[in-house]
Amino acid sequence: MRLLVTGGAGFIGSHFIEYFLNQYPQSEVTNLDCLTYAAHPDTVDRLAQLGGKKYSFYKLDIGDSAVTQILKDRKIDAVVNFAAETHVDRSILDPQAFVKTNILGTQNLLQAARTVGKIRFVHVSTDEVYGSLEPGDPTCTEATPLDPNSPYAASKAGADLLALATQRTYQQDILITRCTNNYGPYQFPEKLLPLVIANALEDKAVPVYGDGKQVRDWIYVEDHCRGIDTVLQKGKAGEVYNISSSAERLNIDIIKKTLGMLAKSESLITYVGDRPAHDRRYGLNPEKIRTELGWQPRYSLEEGLKATVDWYVKNQDWWKKVRNKDYFKYYQANYQPKVSDLSEAQL
């Protein structure tokens, strides 16, 4: 398979590329990423070393018209679209950027795939499109109505609807995955778990929104990657598949558990004002992907959390580069990845 992964320098996308190259050594992977703040340059180098001649990288926005030419030149068989602005707090401050990337960028990708033809398209979405659940509510199935509460979630819901409408209108080979909260190595430390770990290791306050009793459904990133691959290989066009390891926990409990693994005091916990329109609970029902496609998670929450904490403890240089804003700005501005050549038609 010749696979195009968009957003492949980000947290989940880079894990998926690593997984795919190891799982299918005869396949070719093209990574398209515009290298925003959340794409650590070390990740680009790591994937290039791993993939060798089977891997190509393009520094490009998914909204760029050159995407069509890349699909043609690389003879792409399938696209997995991770590219997205994802941080809820940032979406509250700047919704426009989320609309541009998550909706307009996705539309450009869908149209490019249709222009080239015969390309399987997996659009990676989120549980947040379903909105918030109450404590006693059943978990969301693929038939649960979309009810997003943040600009981020609304932009992802918009992209989902575009993908589904495109499939139905043009009969394109399009599938959607919706997953719960991911965690694991290489996650940008604006997200909850890496933020808790990094702050605790530096003996800094660990901020907790509101009362900390928001419920999230956690999955180790490798399990998510295997779920996406399962959908890519076995899924049915036009279908949505929830991916979850059914590990719902209170945020405050996850934070305390993480601090315990680091042998750090819970006195570091600092309660702060709650996020506007903060969803109280997310929970997905993964029965469809389990029964129809045979996917199962391999990591328990305890196993995945331990692996994650151990990685951040052993790789402090990686996340400290991100925490040092002056250094990281310089690093991003001066870093020149090995970029695959673009044809004259693209320039």
- Under CATH, to which class is 2-346 assigned? alpha beta
Dihedral of CA 248/253/255/258: which sign?
negative
Does residue 127 carry a catalytic annotation?
A: yes
Beta-bridged to residue 175, according to DSSP, are 122
Catalytic site includes residue 128: yes
- The region of weakest confidence among 66-80, 91-105, 217-231 is 91-105
73 has a pLDDT exceeding 90? yes
Q: Which residues, 6 or more positions from 283, have their beta carbon under 8 angstroms from its beta carbon?
A: 127, 133, 137, 139, 140, 180, 215, 217, 244, 248
Cβ count within 10 A of residue 309: 23
The answer to whether residue 37 is catalytic is no
- Parse the chain into domains and list their residue ranges: 2-346
Q: Which of 128, 160, 248, 279 is catalytic?
A: 128
Tokens, residue 194: 């890496």
pLDDT digits (tens, 9 = 90+) for 294-331: 999 999 999 999 999 999 999 999 899 878 766 566 55
> Model-level pTM?
0.93
List the one residue out of 72, 27, 76, 18 whose CA is nearest residue 48. 18
Over its C-alpha atoms, the chain yields an Rg (Å, rounded) of 19
Catalytic residue among 127, 160, 217, 239: 127
Cα 271 to its chain centre, rounded Å, is: 27
Strands (E) located in the chain: 2-6, 28-33, 55-59, 78-81, 120-126, 174-179, 181-183, 206-209, 215-220, 240-243, 248-250, 269-272
